[in-house]
Structure 1
Amino acid sequence: MKMKKTVKRIVLATMALLCLGFLFVCLVLLTSPSEISSLEQIDDNELHTVALGGQTLCSDGSPFSIFVRKGKSNNLIIHFSGGGACWDGKTCASPITMMSLLSRDPQLKSYYVPRIYKFIPKLITGLPDNHESNPFKDWSVVYIPYCTGDFHVGNVTNVYQYDNREFEIHHNGRNNSIAALQWTFSNFKSPDKIMVSGESAGGFASAFWAPVVANHYSSKKIHQLADASMLNSTRWNEIMDTVWKAESATYLNFKIRDDVYEDALLGRSDSLNYRINHLHSNTVFDGVLSQFSAALNHQPTTTIDYIDDWSTNMLHSMKKLSESGLDYEYFISDCQYDSKTHSTPHMLSGLNYNSCDTGPISFSEWLKKNVIDDEPLSLGIHLLDKLK
């Protein structure tokens, strides 16, 4: 009997490995985007790879590249991808891998994407996608992957220690972002409309780098979208400037306090943010951001208090930004609330692009009204009104 069970387990494990191998071949070997060096080489509406070289690289030393789609219109999306963050030995020793993605563990055990996996372009959905139902399907897209664990702004190589081993991490987000934007500026001379967007860690980056885009395209109105981006911690100054060497005050032009997204919008030393239309979206009990918040603030996750604390901080921050005088519109949703985990989805600009709404309007419709139709609209005020 024991022998039969052992054989059965081996057979099942082998079948699982074969399935994973087949999936790998389908996603990677058969469908990797072709490589180009300039926009002029694109004659279709598909994603293509641009290897940037130079000083660009990922956290593990592997090559960095961007993905580009040429749209039918003269409008442009510059999209910063999300993918976690790491800031010490424990978090940097725990990268996101294919196996950790497949495990679907609800607990936060993997913290950042260490390299650009070849299957990533096939997982791009929602806003950057060219699906027929997407209002932005005809826009050109420059998709900036994220593989440095530093919100796209780090400028240092650190040696970390954890579990009796020493390892090197390249927080190279600044060089990667600069190279990506330089390629964009060279290939898109004068777009009609421009949106700098990002989800999760990329949402923070959209706030950090949108002023650079606004400064380059100085005669254009810039829309900036941060989806699923709000983390409050007294550790931000240490992490951003000491660990990642982002030089927030001198290079990014804002002073860090406790809410790094809010600080990027309200704490700038110049007036560029007042030329930008800031769009901000969050779900009320984001199951991923709340776990990162707990990790940052050394908060236990044995009760739901950490989720409620993150939610309250998020709502207060968005309320403050909405009353700041900036050109700021928000979308707050409690869609797909899971009472068992006391959580809502992480990110609206991807898989939930058309399925999450506030009232009768979906996230994609809200974005279209603000960017394409130039009709300012905020949704979710009933959730802000619940604040004490």
Structure 2
Amino acid sequence: MEETDYLEEQLAEVAIEKGGLRSAYAVAFTCMIAFMGIGLVDPILKTIAQQLDATPAQTTLLFTSYMLVTGVMMLFTGFISSRIGAKKTLIFGLIIIIMFSCLAGFSETIKGLIYLRAGWGLGNALFISTALSAIVGVLAGQTEKAIIMYEASMGLGMSIGPLLGGVLGSASWRLPFFGVAFLMFIATLAISFLLTPIVKPKEKVSIFAGIKALKNHKLRSIGVIALLYNFGFFTLLAYAPFLLEGFTEMQVGFVFFGWGALLAVASVFIAPILEKRINTYRTILLALFFFLASLFFIGLNAQNPQFVAIGVIIAGFFQGLINTLLTTIAMEIPTIERSVASSSYSFIRFFGGAIAPFVAGKLAETWNSSVTFYFAALMVLIGLIFVIVHSQYFATEEEYE
């Protein structure tokens, strides 16, 4: 009798584990599609600027409006998901993205497109922040595996997105927006049927929980480092396409496909190895140093599209390392619930992503494109100094296993 009970318990545990893994893969697949939406516009930025009679600075506001709304709303996603559940929050976020990406495809003015991207950011906030905590939740006790899965989906999405944007954008700049809507519809079906219901937290998250969490010095410090790093990240993502003179939409797509592929490889395979062999602190220092060197290289060769392309692709590798390790540190703060930590951390880093495109465009208009990337490199350098100052926070659980 005891053997039978034990066997039943083991089978139940296996079933739960398989269900959790299936759910994690469903969310990760959907994350990949969501992140495709960020990079999808890269190959068509120059075309949008030309056809809607917009300056590069105005066109980069497509990133700023999107990232700003995403960042601010992420502070309140924990409040929403703790009341209606993670699964419903994910689905609502996807529906909002579908609606606004469709409308963006019909836009006739750059101003209208900027506002519609802001609406898109609202859905993105509900989805992305909840997705990270959902993957961590369904893979209980496997935080690093969950974060690697999340960062891998981001890398794959950001690599495939520009490629798809290049293919569709070669026919019309409107098609990538309709393409996102279609992919998000598939993602909604995947979440609806494959994600098992996630138990709501026993205590509902207060509306200001995300803001209160920033009182935690470790979370706030890691967030500031992520903000400075993301300044460089989104300067590269939003402004580098304007330096690829003579490149077709398809060629720009291939450049960012290479960038995203290296980002994914570094996130999934290299970051865990370096974390255990030379520790998180040294890995992040090295990665930030080589990332700022890549930005400086792009600035130095701003008038040479081929060298800019090389700099962009190489930068992806170091960004992959930084993404995974910074996120792991932020999500392993035991005193803060993961959904709240995810919201607060994402708010700070996405805020950096919102500022960067706007500043990049203005610096290029006032001085030149080289200054844009020199300034981004300076922001990353300040982030590197912050890492040194707060070195005590850069140790993860996996280093001691």
**TM-score scaled by structure 2?**
0.29
Q: Which has the higher helix share?
A: 2
**TM-score scaled by structure 1?**
0.30
Q: Which has the higher strand share?
A: 1
Relative contact order (alpha carbons < 8 A, sep ≥ 6): 1 or 2 greater?
2
